[in-house]
Structure 1
Amino acid sequence: MPANSLLTPSDCVIILVDEQAGLAFAAGSADRQTLRGNTVALARTALAFDIPIVVSTSASKVYSGPLMPPLRAVLSGVVQIERRNMNLWEDEAARDAIISSGRRTLVIAGLFTEACVSFPVLSALTDGYEVHVVADACGGLTPASHDAALRRMEMAGAVMTSWLQFLLELQRDWTRHDTYEAARAIVVDHGGGYGIGLDYARDMFHPA
């Protein structure tokens, strides 16, 4: 589908790369707690809209540690793929998991933006995939290096987005009842003032 088309759940596969505490310690491009919350929101969005999720980790026994606990809780039913390559696209098991989803639109987030996010993005673009990068769920070593990596991916053809834009793009209409409660709950938990507003609106229209 054209990169300027609105996404639908049936288009996408979500890829989470190296969302591990040992790497999050070194991420300096954003507040770490916010970054973790944004990633959890993205994972919950995938589940709410029944989107396949590929989760890959690296060096989990020697440096990076396991997937961060809030993500483990949300993704308890998802098998994690451990790899050695920095480039997920060069790992046969991870790449095959993406290909077997049958989806040609990749939505990717992870640590670090400079390498383990940007490398598979550039490789997938070369292989003809459409790629959306959830920029506020990616962490880099510094703000400057994170931004440089985002610019390089965008120049190569990747589409930049945020977890909230992605969720709203999938929901599009708050009268879509099958995903309304799950989508609303994600925004309430992770959407800051917008989430507070949704709670306020429910209290006003449906007082206890």
Structure 2
Amino acid sequence: MNTIFKHEETALVLIDHQIGTMQLIKNISLDVVKRNVLALAKTASILNIPVVLTSSQEENIQGALLPELQDIVPEAFATRVKRAGIVNAWTDSNFRDAVAKTGRKNLIMAGVTTSVCLVFPAIDAVSAGFSVQAVMDASGSPSDLAEEMSRRRMENAGVVLTATDTIMAELAQDWSTPTGQQIIQVMFQNVLPSIH
């Protein structure tokens, strides 16, 4: 994949950002991951990008999806794919159907843990013919080693690694447009360090 993602050709896929599982992230600040996930959802809302949410065993220790997502992308939240325990979301037919229904071939993906929730569906989506950008600061792992190995594995399979501010800028294209102005506001509020 060497093309710029355009918002009209792209879907956002957020995997298992649940309040329990989030606590497994140790290689990056939990607050940073949460703010970036919400910034991606806000960007998708501004640009009318379809959003696919999925969760695993919400009734167990994994817990509920981040409740803020219900306010930002209510339709995606209501229709989220609740997996009974399937590790690789891509092997869940309901999840694959939800992605297919977006009609988009470019996928921006983030998973609560890079090393379990993100690595497998990102690689499988590329194998299925999608272009995938994995957002590394909206995902995390229990250890630096787990993160590094998963990143290498994804890159070797053709997944492009990116960061939240990079993909937001890529989708915005022009800060002077009405949507660009909204996105840069989200970026300064949620993603970037403050300018004094």
CA distance in 2, matches of 1:133, 1:192: 19
Q: Which runs of 5 or more residues in structure 2 are unaligned?
A: none
1:132 maps to 2:133: yes
Output the amino acid matched with 1:180: G
SS at match of 1:118: helix
SS at match of 1:25: helix
Q: State the Cα distance separating 1:4 from its structure 2 match.
A: 1.2
CA distance in 2, matches of 1:77, 1:172: 26
1:181 maps to 2:181: yes
Q: State the Cα distance separating 1:68 from its structure 2 match.
A: 1.4
- TM-score of the superposed pair, with normalisation by structure 1: 0.88
CA distance in 1, matches of 2:175, 2:36: 21
CA distance in 2, matches of 1:92, 1:143: 31
Hey, what does 1:80 align to over in structure 2? 80
Q: Structure 1 residue runs of 4+, over 3 Å off?
A: none
- TM-score of the superposed pair, with normalisation by structure 2: 0.93
Hey, what does 1:62 align to over in structure 2? 60
Hey, what does 1:205 align to over in structure 2? none
Query: Which aligned pairs between 1:180-199 and structure 2 lie closer than 5 A?
Result: 180-193=180-193, 196-197=194-195
Query: Which aligned pairs between 1:145-156 and structure 2 lie closer than 5 A?
Result: 145-156=146-157
Larger radius of gyration: 1
1:56-80 deviations in Å (ceiling 9; x for gaps) = 0001001211111222332223221
Q: State the Cα distance separating 1:181 from its structure 2 match.
A: 3.3
Q: Is the 8 A contact 2:17 2:112 kept in 1?
A: yes
Query: Which aligned pairs between 1:7-86 and structure 2 lie closer than 5 A?
Result: 7-78=5-76, 79-83=79-83, 84-86=85-87
CA distance in 2, matches of 1:191, 1:96: 31
Output the amino acid matched with 2:73: L
SS at match of 1:153: helix
Q: Is the 8 A contact 2:114 2:147 kept in 1?
A: yes
Hey, what does 1:121 align to over in structure 2? 122
Q: State the Cα distance separating 1:43 from its structure 2 match.
A: 0.8
Hey, what does 2:2 align to over in structure 1? 4
Identity percentage over the alignment? 28
Q: Is the 8 A contact 2:165 2:192 kept in 1?
A: no
